[in-house]
Amino acid sequence: MQPRAFVIAVAAALLFAPFFAYAPAARAQQPAGDMPEMQRETEQYPEAAKSANDAMSMPGMDMSANPHMFMTDLAPKQPGDDRRAQEIVDILGKSIARYKDYKAALADGYQIFLPKVPQQVYHFTNYRNAVAAAFIFNPAHPTSLLYKKSGDGYELVGAMFTAPKTATEQQLNDRVPLSVARWHEHVNFCMPPRGTPPAQVDWKKFGAGSISTEDACAAAGGRFVKQIFGWMVHVYPFQQDPTQVWAH
């Protein structure tokens, strides 16, 4: 590990020491440079980032059937899984309750992802939390808060945790039990040929459209993006229906 990454890892570990009970081994290194991976990839692949967001927001869409989404399978229940998942929900709910006022979230460093794009669910992302999540899981500090538009403001509905692209299923399970929640990745996007005006793009094929293989993308003259962002999982701690707390 490079000295700079090591310093950041130690700082994150010290900052989140009370939550080491939930932390997997921190095997992932911080991406090069000062900019968090999520933020860097959004700037590098803006169309893919928007497409990833669209893939999560399709009404009535079974995310597991979406060719641009890969989801972990539900694992067999292990002793303590339900208790561990409930502890995560309890800690998260208490820590983000103050963000029911979305202005408090903005004041604390959360930024609206694609604020000018109409969405069913808006992700308010804290890139400092995203960096820390590369090393340690802290249920009190989610990478993103999830909001729905409400009048002139936003209504808090949940949160999103993240993990590095390189995380194994065991490492994901160490963070949130795979018997309770399904982590997902955003994969297989075909971006239109560079320089094509957006108004001229057939978005039924490109972005979150029908093309989902590298060969088909090459045949269409597009640019294939195998994966954007790392692992993600949504949680809705204020839901009264237990089946909806970890629903996508």
Does residue 71 sit within a domain?
A: no
Q: Is residue 225 part of a domain?
A: no
Domain assignment present for 175 = yes
Ranges under pLDDT 50 in the chain: 1-35, 58-61
Q: Of 139, 129, 132, which is closest to residue 94 (Cα–Cα)?
A: 139
pLDDT at residue 41, rounded to an integer? 59
Phi, psi at 73, each rounded to 5°: -80, 155
Helix (H), strand (E) at residue 69 = strand 69-71
Say whether pTM exceeds 0.95. no
Query: Structurally, how many domains does the chain consist of?
Result: 1
Domain range for 36: 3-65+76-186+230-244
Does 89 map to a domain?
A: yes
Residue 222 covered by a domain: no
pLDDT of residue 11: 40
180 near 72, Cβ under 8 Å? no
pLDDT of res. 38: 59
pLDDT at residue 27 in the model: 36
**Contact between 185 and 230 (Cβ < 8 Å):** yes
CB count, 10 Å around CB of 112?
18
41 located within any domain? yes
Radius of gyration of the chain from its Cα atoms, rounded to whole angstroms: 18
d(Cα 46, Cα 88) in Å, to the nearest integer?
32
In a domain, 193, yes or no: no
Q: Output the pLDDT for position 211.
A: 94
Residue 209 domain-assigned (yes or no): no
- CA dist., res. 149 & res. 147, Å (int): 7
Q: Tokens 């999560």 — which residue?
A: 56
**Other beta carbons within 10 Å of 208:** 27
The pLDDT tens digits of the residues spanning 137-162 come to 999 999 999 999 999 999 999 999 99
Contact criterion met (CB below 8 Å) for 44 and 165: no
Which residues have CB under 8 Å from 136's CB, separation 6+? 12, 13, 16, 19, 20, 23, 26
pLDDT at 4: 44
Residues 143 and 38: beta-carbon distance below 8 Å: yes
Tokens of 210: 């029908």
Q: How far is CA 155 from the centre of its chain?
A: 19
